[in-house]
Each structure stands twice: as C-alpha cells, then as structure tokens.
Amino acid sequence: MSLELFQLNNKVAIVTGAGKGIGRAIALGFAEAGADVVAVARTQSDVDEVASKVQAKGRRALAVSADVRNKSAVSNMVNKTLDKFGRIDILVNNAGTFIYSPVVEMTVEEWDSMFEANMKSVFLCCQAVAKPMIAQKSGCIVNVSSMAGIVPDPGRSAYSASKAGVNNFTRNLSLELASHNIRVNGIAPGLVLTPGISREVKQMRAKIPNFRTSVVDRVPLKRVGKPEEMVGAVIFLASEASSYITGITIEVCGGLLALMD
C-alpha cells in the first residue's frame, strides 16, 4: 500500500471542538496531511490560534465560532465553509462535554446537557454536512465517541449513554449514506489527557477512592493517552487508506477493550 493513500491533499475538513485537546490535535494533524481546515469551537480566540497554526503549515484555514448544539449555528458553519472552499470532504465531530454524576444525584438538566452536547451536535452536523456531500457524491465523516460508550463506568451513566448513542448513530448513518459514496466511521478514545479530562479527573478523584488504581492502572499500557495519539486513527479513517471501511468505531484506548469478555 502506498503511503500516499494516507494523504489528505487539498481535502477540505471541518473539525468541531477544535480549540483544545483532541480536536486541536486533529486539526493540526490534518494540515500536516495536506488538508485545508475549518476549525470550529465556541471560543473564537481558540480557533483563531489553531487556524493560524494550520496556515503556518502551508494550508488554508477558516476559524468559525459556533455552538454546534444550535441548528442555525451549524448551518452558518456549513455555509461559511462552502463560501470559502466550495466543498466539504471531511467532517470530524469532536465537540462534546462530560459530567460525573451518579444517576440518583443527577439532575434532568445534567442529563439533557450530555445529550445536547454529545449527540444532538453530532446529528446536526452530520445532517448539515451530508447534504453537500451527497451533491458532490463523496465525503467522509468521523465521529469522536468514547470508550465510555462501550465499557460501563459508574458515575458516568449519562455520558456513557450519549456516547453509546453516537456509536450506534455512526453505524446507522453509514448505511444511509453508503449509496452516496460517503463513509461514516468513528473512534472511541480511552482516557486522554486533555483540558476537559483534567477537570474530569479532579471530579473523580474527589468521589472515587484509589482513583489511579481503579481507573488508570486498569489500562494495560498503564497510562493515559495523549491527544496526538488519536490523530493517526482519524487520518486513516478520513483518507483513501480506509476506502473500503464504513460503519466501524476504532477503539484507541491503550488496550482497555482487551480486558473485556
């Protein structure tokens, strides 16, 4: 297999949640692979900084401040992308959030917030981007899920349920869009050291005795992941190297899945 199959030369990629963490790493990794990047997040200064780094790598960039839980904001994101680049080849749905809360303590607002951020945003972005992809008869969508959607974890029921929904949505959407030459896949990161995870770890350390033993040490590689370690799987799924793959979610979890029956 030629390594050129992993290149994204002249592809236009939208990455949500691109201001920090995994999304930022993906946006910059895409630029190195040859893609033009639309960096999307709620904080304009964050995506401006990412767009600047994309341009420094010799690629075109667009910074869009958008709350992807909002349909009109998503439509504006897509319209701005089409106005600047004329097409959309890749969508990475990375935006999301986390709340650690046992079910008996959880508020309805907390439950709703998980599904708004982690599932509704994926639906809205996929729906909006699928339309121009169908018109151009090509495209690739990668949804960033979580191992929490596969491996049960007390205190993360709402988050886990929302990410399990993303996994199943990915499979279903892949069937709906396959006839249009659009592939839909996902990755499920394990515990990855991002600003959001740092807040999560603080929450869990306060509530879980022996947090390191119960969470980190059960990972076979005995460490948390880095955002940059998620990039290779996403580039693979977004590139022609995976041209005969659709409807799967790759677990990028340090071997955690190997422990399951």
- Pair 220, 255: CB distance under 8 Å: yes
Which domains, ranges and CATH numbers included, belong to the chain?
A: 3-189+229-259 (3.40.50.720)
- Pair 146, 222: CB distance under 8 Å: no
Q: How far out from the chain centre does Cα 28 lie?
A: 14
Give the 3-state secondary structure percentages of the chain, helix then strand then coil, rounded to 5.
55, 15, 30
Q: Is the pLDDT of residue 121 over 80?
A: yes
Q: State the Rg of the chain over Cα.
A: 18
Tokens of 59: 């690629």
Q: What are phi and psi of 254, to 5 degrees?
A: 70, 20
- Active-site residue flag, 244: no
Distance CA(87)–CA(37), nearest Å, equals: 12
* ∠ CA 251-33-193, rounded to 5°: 40
Calculate the CA dihedral of residues 60, 65, 67, 72 and round it to 10 degrees: -80
Q: Tell me what pLDDT residue 142 has.
A: 98
Q: Is the pLDDT of residue 18 over 80?
A: yes
For residue range 37-87, list pLDDT tens digits in order: 999 999 999 999 999 999 999 999 999 999 999 999 999 999 999 999 999
Q: What is the mean pLDDT of residues 20-49?
A: 97
Q: Tell me what pLDDT residue 101 has.
A: 86
Distance CA(61)–CA(79), nearest Å, equals: 15
Q: What is the mean pLDDT of residues 171-198?
A: 90
Q: Tell me what pLDDT residue 1 has.
A: 60
What percentage of residues in the chain have a pLDDT greater than 90?
A: 76
Tokens 């709703």 locate to: 112
Q: Tell me what pLDDT residue 21 has.
A: 94
Q: Is the pLDDT of residue 91 over 90?
A: yes
Distance CA(186)–CA(143), nearest Å, equals: 4
Q: Tell me what pLDDT residue 93 has.
A: 98
Q: What is the mean pLDDT of residues 204-225?
A: 70
Q: Tell me what pLDDT residue 34 has.
A: 98
The average confidence (pLDDT) of the chain is 92
- Pair 260, 227: CB distance under 8 Å: no
Q: Which of 85, 98, 159, 169 is catalytic?
A: 159
Q: Tell me what pLDDT residue 199 has.
A: 60
Q: Of residues 192 and 172, which shows the higher confidence score?
A: 172
Tokens of 57: 């790598």
